[in-house]
Structure 1
Amino acid sequence: MCAALTLPGATISATHDGKICRVEGRIAGRVGFQLWLPDAWNGRYYQIGTGGFAGQIFPDSLAWDAAKGNAVAMSDAGHRGNPMDAGWAKGDRQAVIDYGYQSIKTTSDAARILIRRYYGRVAHHRYFAGCSNGGRQALMAAMRWPQDWEGIVAGSPAALWTRQHASFAALQQQVERSLPIDPAKVQRAALATCPKGTVANDVALDPERCHYRPADPLVRAIVAAGYAPTSTGDWGKWIVNPDRAAPSQRRFAEGGYRYLLRNNPGWQVARVLSG
Structure 2
Amino acid sequence: MKSTRLYTLFGSIASLPSLTAATNIPAGFSARCASLAQNFHPNHQTTVLAAELLLKGSNFTNPSPRPECIIANPILLVNVCRLRVNVSTSSTSSVIFEAWMPTDWERKGKRFVMTGNGGLGGCIAFDDLNYLSYLGFATLGHNNGHDGDTGLPFYKHPEVVKDFAYRALLTATKIGKKAVNQFYQQTLKKSYFVGCSSGGRQGLKAAQDFPEEFDGIVAGAAGANWNNLMSSVSYYWKYVANENKPLVLTAEQWTAWRDEVIKQCDLMDGVKDSVIEDPRKCHPRPEARLCAPGQTWESNKCFTGDQASVLRKIYEPFYGNNATFLFPGFMPGDETTTSLWFATNAPPYTVDWYRYAVLNDETWTVEEDFNLDAVDYANKVDLYNISTLKDLSKLKATGHKLLTYHGLADGLLSAENSDRYYESVVRRMGLPSSKLDSFYRYFPIAGLGHCAGGNGAWYVGGANQFSSAPATGTTVDPEGGVLLSMVKWVEEGVAPDRILGRGFSADGQTTLTKDHCKWPLKNTYLGGDPAKKRSWGCL
Q: Which amino acid aligns with 2:179?
A: L
Q: Which moved more, 1:225-234 or 1:63-72?
A: 225-234
Partner residue of 1:192? 263
* 1:11 is aligned to 2:82: no
Q: Is the 8 A contact 2:192 2:214 kept in 1?
A: yes
Q: For 1:20, which of 53, 58, 80 is the aligned residue?
A: 80
Partner residue of 1:229? 332
Quote the offset at 1:146 in angstroms: 1.1
1:214-264 Cα shifts (integer Å, max 9, x gaps): 35221122222432232112133x22222x4xxxx7111111111122122
Quote the offset at 1:165 in angstroms: 1.3
3-state secondary structure, aligned to 2:131? helix
Q: Which amino acid aligns with 2:173?
A: S
Q: Distance in 2 between matches of 1:55 and 1:255?
A: 14
Quote the offset at 1:142 in angstroms: 1.1
Quote the offset at 1:153 in angstroms: 1.0
Quote the offset at 1:128 in angstroms: 0.9
Q: For 1:252, which of 322, 333, 349 is the aligned residue?
A: 349
Quote the offset at 1:210 in angstroms: 4.3
TM-score, scaled relative to structure 2? 0.47
Quote the offset at 1:192 in angstroms: 2.5
Partner residue of 2:341? 239
Q: Is the 8 A contact 1:198 1:206 kept in 2?
A: no
Quote the offset at 1:120 in angstroms: 1.5
Q: Which amino acid aligns with 1:167?
A: S
Determine what percentage of the aligned residue pairs are the same residue.
27
Q: Distance in 2 between matches of 1:205 and 1:146?
A: 33
Q: Which amino acid aligns with 1:60?
A: D
Q: Distance in 2 between matches of 1:252 and 1:20?
A: 35
Q: Which amino acid aligns with 1:32?
A: I
Q: Which amino acid aligns with 2:260?
A: A
Q: How many residues align?
A: 266
Q: Distance in 2 between matches of 1:70 and 1:226?
A: 38
3-state secondary structure, aligned to 1:122? coil
* 1:217 is aligned to 2:314: no
1:96-116 Cα shifts (integer Å, max 9, x gaps): 001100011110111111111
Greater C-alpha Rg = 2
Q: Which amino acid aligns with 2:329?
A: G
Partner residue of 1:269? 366
Q: Distance in 2 between matches of 1:116 and 1:269?
A: 48
Q: Which amino acid aligns with 1:44?
A: R
The alignment's C-alpha RMSD in Å is 2.0
1:82-138 Cα shifts (integer Å, max 9, x gaps): x1x110100001100011000111101111111111111221110111111101111
**CA pair 207-105 structure 1, distance change in 2 beyond 3 A:** closer
Partner residue of 2:98? 34
* 1:133 is aligned to 2:235: no
Q: Distance in 2 between matches of 1:209 and 1:148?
A: 38
Partner residue of 2:58? none
Q: Which amino acid aligns with 1:240?
A: F
Q: Which amino acid aligns with 1:263?
A: N
Q: For 1:49, which of 116, 120, 134 is the aligned residue?
A: 116
**CA pair 210-166 structure 1, distance change in 2 beyond 3 A:** closer
Quote the offset at 1:267 in angstroms: 1.8
1:52-110 Cα shifts (integer Å, max 9, x gaps): 111111322101000010001010011112x1x11010000110001100011110111
1:181-228 Cα shifts (integer Å, max 9, x gaps): 23122213212313556443x443454564412352211222224322
Q: Which amino acid aligns with 2:140?
A: A
Q: Which moved more, 1:51-60 or 1:85-94?
A: 51-60
* 1:152 is aligned to 2:217: yes
Q: Distance in 1 between matches of 2:341 and 2:313?
A: 11
Q: Which amino acid aligns with 1:77?
A: N
Q: Which moved more, 1:8-17 or 1:58-67?
A: 8-17
Q: Distance in 1 between matches of 2:152 and 2:214?
A: 32
Q: Which amino acid aligns with 2:227?
A: T
Q: Distance in 1 between matches of 2:219 and 2:125?
A: 18
Quote the offset at 1:266 in angstroms: 2.1
Q: Distance in 1 between matches of 2:280 and 2:94?
A: 46
Q: Is the 8 A contact 1:172 1:269 kept in 2?
A: no
Partner residue of 1:115? 180
Q: Distance in 2 between matches of 1:252 and 1:199?
A: 36
Q: Distance in 1 between matches of 2:283 and 2:271?
A: 13
Partner residue of 1:171? 236
Q: Distance in 2 between matches of 1:49 and 1:140?
A: 11
Q: Is the 8 A contact 1:169 1:253 kept in 2?
A: yes
3-state secondary structure, aligned to 1:94? helix
Q: Distance in 2 between matches of 1:190 and 1:127?
A: 38
Structure 2: runs of 5+ lacking an equivalent: 1-31, 56-78, 288-307, 317-327, 375-539
**CA pair 40-221 structure 1, distance change in 2 beyond 3 A:** same
**CA pair 32-143 structure 1, distance change in 2 beyond 3 A:** same
Q: Which amino acid aligns with 1:105?
A: L
Q: For 1:2, which of 33, 52, 75 is the aligned residue?
A: 33
1:31-67 Cα shifts (integer Å, max 9, x gaps): 0110011110021000001011111113221010000
Q: Is the 8 A contact 1:129 1:153 kept in 2?
A: yes
Q: Is the 8 A contact 1:38 1:66 kept in 2?
A: yes
Quote the offset at 1:162 in angstroms: 1.1
Q: Is the 8 A contact 2:47 2:85 kept in 1?
A: yes
